[in-house]
Amino acid sequence: MDHHLINAYAHSNLHEALLAHLFADIIAKESEKVSPRHALQAFQNDVLHHIRIAVFPAQDENSHMIQQSSLDAASRFFRVVEDILVSRGVLDTN
């Protein structure tokens, strides 16, 4: 595998880990005011909605694949955040 591609994957994984833990921290801190489950779901819905209506390069033959990959990445991200919150005891598994 190309060194640049390995570096890109490494940075992507780092960014996801940082964002997931920061977002989990925010939800955990707000859990006294708002249901963590509802906060996570509302934010996920907003992000997925934005990706669905975002303008991707219309003339590019890969625009649908870009959108679908973005939706898949967002879904994986929110599963990671949910797992973090469950492991911290902020969310139950129900």
Q: List, for residues 26-60, the tens digit of each pLDDT value.
A: 999 988 888 999 999 999 999 999 999 887 777 78
Is the predicted pLDDT of residue 94 greater than 70, yes or no?
no
Cα–Cα dist 71/64, whole Å: 11
Instruction: Work out the pLDDT band at 1, boundaries 50, 70, 90.
Output: confident
How far from 37 is each of 34, 72, 84, CA to CA, in Å?
A: 9, 20, 13
- Across all residues in the chain, what is the average pLDDT? 91
